Amino acid sequence: MKQRVIDAISHELQREFVLEKPANLSFGHYATPLAFSLAKELKKSPILIAEELSARFGNVGIFQEVTAIKGYINFKLSPTFLDSYASWALENEADFGKDTKEETILLEYVSANPTGPLHIGHARGAVMGDALYRIGSHLGYTITSEYYVNDAGNQVDLLGLSLYLSGREQILGYPVSWPEQFYRGEYIVDLAQVAYKELGEEIFNDESNIERLSSWGKDKMLELIRSNLADVGIVFENFVSEKSLYSAWDASFEKLQHSGKTYEEGGKIWIRSTELGDEKDRVVVREDGRPTYLAGDIIYHDNKFERGYDHYINIWGADHHGYITRVKAAIHFLGYNETKLEVLLAQMVSLLKGGEPYKMSKRAGNFILMSDVVDEIGSDALRFVFLSKKSDTHLEFDVDVFKQEDNNNPIFYINYAHARINQIFAKAGKSLDDVKGVSLAHLSEDGQNLLFSALLLPEVLEDAFSSRQVQKVTEYLKNLAASLHKFYNENRVVGSDEEVALLKLFAVVALSLRTGLKLIGITAKDKM
RNA sequence: GUCCCCAUAGCUCAGCAGGAUAGAGCAUCAAAUUCCUAAUUUGAAGGCCGUGCGUUCGAAUCGCGCUGGGGACACCA
């Protein structure tokens, strides 16, 4: 819709212009402040310019009216245009808001260590990534979703050690002393029990079994993580194992050396990341020859770029922000265009319950488990609240709000609007096919405005995806639901003279709500 | 010390590729159900958009400084 408007205006004006929303829908559907910027150039008042320019739109079909108000040029779409778009949307439900894009994107998110269940911090990146995946795919981008599994290195070793100690302590009854950094959540105790059942008591007898425990535990944890994700409707296309990539280290390392940006010092191998803005150079190979964590990411990004996507998006926890520069430097040294990588940061989440800090789960080892929150408020509410604020800003919310069944709870409010429409159709005894064909050209002003709002979804999606700001979608859905409730209270539908037209209008609103919800991973309710 | 995020109504937050009177929900007060779900709606009240300077015809929005809050600064992942 927006594109049609832009095309129509460019055709007439032959100029660059900014298209925006008027302050008030009564002015029009779209507006441009173009006259202000032309004032200097033309040495005329913006008010005069706006009047002259608006006069050119006398017979541009899609506009009913083009008016100059205080220097702004306001465009009001014609009811026929809105009606034809509405009819198209209802005929092509699945295509509503779809677009075609050439770009291919590799989207990596979550990538939590397979050493424990997902906690609430992971949930934010997870939900954000999934929403971008859904919206982007709907817009026609070819997106691959990927989870990088850190199944090599210290953390996984620690998992094995922790299981080993826990088994010796809880099952074999030996006294053990726990080093500070070991995993101590109750899930470790539970998992050690499972190990006891599946692998037998002897697994805890000898330290030589720790490696096996690590690997076994990692697989179990990955299974748990997948199930945590599945509970909120997230399924990844790819899981890439860090460990499996290590065989490619020599090749990646050779590329790095080829760039001349590596050097040896103190028995370690460094990359000159300071040349690309890093605070210090970084070690990639330790004195004992073991590659560092960064090396793993170098191989991984080499692997990613080899696969030849147009664009790469990583969603990381905000605590990794300092890591961006060095990874980009490495990508550059590998000979790729590092600007193709975009890193989005998911900031901290603080949870409250009844106004008090949400208590940490002992089970998780003093984290808030994502699954606990899902059990408490449900996947839909979790998704909605996490998506309603920009991901790179801190978020605080009270889980109790999302258990209320009223206006406090936005997901409830939106579902109610959708369910309402369904019930009205049922009450009227009509189906979509009964109303599709009717013309909406004679709707009241309020009806036209509601229709216009419902038809805005495609441009909201476009805007949300391109700015990576999914909260634009949740905000839009809340507003659309509010408009529907308001209209409902002011207009009687069933039995009125305009029954079929109003039903068609409502059908478009429902389509927009349903589609928008679907793209943030929520299934709209038909009945409540 | 360096870097990142934040500061808008009592609370939680929108608005920010500069544009017409700064919005929503909650909380407070007052209204609307013989009628499609009142799980809703309407109205009132509530704001030096943290602060100073700058850019601009125009700044909540852009730039610099300051103040306050959160976070990150490994050869751990």
CA dist A473 and A138 (Å) reads 14
Which of A77, A105, A131 represents a domain boundary (last residue)?
Answer: A77
pLDDT band at A44 (very low <50, low <70, confident <90, very high): confident
Who contacts A444 (Cβ-Cβ below 8 Å, separation ≥6)?
A491
Nucleotides of chain B touched by protein CB (<7 A): 2-6, 12-15, 18-21, 23-27, 32, 35-42, 57-58, 69-77
pLDDT of residue A89: 96
Residue A34 lies in a domain: yes
Which residues in A103-114 are b (16+ Cβ under 10 Å) and which e? eebbbbbbbbbb
CA of A342 to C1' of B59 (A): 29
Average pLDDT, chain A: 92
CA of A394 to C1' of B68 (A): 16
Q: Give the residue numbers spanning the domain of A45.
A: 2-77
Residue A29 lies in a domain: yes
- The count of structural domains within chain A is 3
CATH number of the CATH domain containing A426 = 1.10.730.10
Residue with tokens 């934010």, as numbered in its chain: A124
pLDDT band at A224 (very low <50, low <70, confident <90, very high): very high
pLDDT in tens, A140-154: 999 999 999 999 888
Residue A290 lies in a domain: no
pLDDT in tens, A345-387: 988 888 888 777 787 777 777 788 899 989 988 899 899 988 9
Q: What percent of chain A has pLDDT over 90?
A: 73
Give the mean pLDDT of A18-42: 88
CA dist A432 and A503 (Å) reads 8
Q: For A110, which DSSP code?
A: -
- C1' nearest to CA of A155: which nucleotide? B77
With a cut of 80, say whether residue A404 has pLDDT above it. Answer: no
CA dist A30 and A73 (Å) reads 9
Who contacts A313 (Cβ-Cβ below 8 Å, separation ≥6)?
A105, A106, A107, A108, A132, A341, A342, A343, A344, A468
pLDDT of residue A365: 73
Residue A184 lies in a domain: yes
CA of A527 to C1' of B38 (A): 17
Which of A27, A51, A77 represents a domain boundary (last residue)?
Answer: A77
pLDDT band at A234 (very low <50, low <70, confident <90, very high): very high
Specify which residue's alpha carbon is closest to the C1' of nucleotide B12: A397
| Structural Rg of chain A based on CA atoms | 28
Is the same domain home to A160 and A73?
Answer: no
C-alpha distances in angstroms, A350 versus A113, A274, A371?
21, 34, 16
Who contacts A290 (Cβ-Cβ below 8 Å, separation ≥6)?
none
CA of A418 to C1' of B24 (A): 19
- C1' nearest to CA of A293: which nucleotide? B77
Question: Would you call A202 exposed, middle or buried from its count of C-beta atoms within 10 A (0-12, 13-18, 19+)?
Answer: exposed
Residue A201 lies in a domain: yes
- C1' nearest to CA of A472: which nucleotide? B14
Q: Is A100 helix (H, G, I), strand (E, B) or coil?
A: coil
Which of A16, A42, A77 represents a domain boundary (last residue)?
Answer: A77
pLDDT of residue A338: 93
- C1' nearest to CA of A426: which nucleotide? B36
Residue A321 lies in a domain: no
Residue with tokens 């790469």, as numbered in its chain: A312
pLDDT of residue A403: 79
CA of A390 to C1' of B75 (A): 35
With a cut of 90, say whether residue A85 has pLDDT above it. Answer: yes
Residue A473 lies in a domain: yes
Specify which residue's alpha carbon is closest to the C1' of nucleotide B38: A489
Residue A304 lies in a domain: no
pLDDT band at A294 (very low <50, low <70, confident <90, very high): very high
CA of A357 to C1' of B39 (A): 28
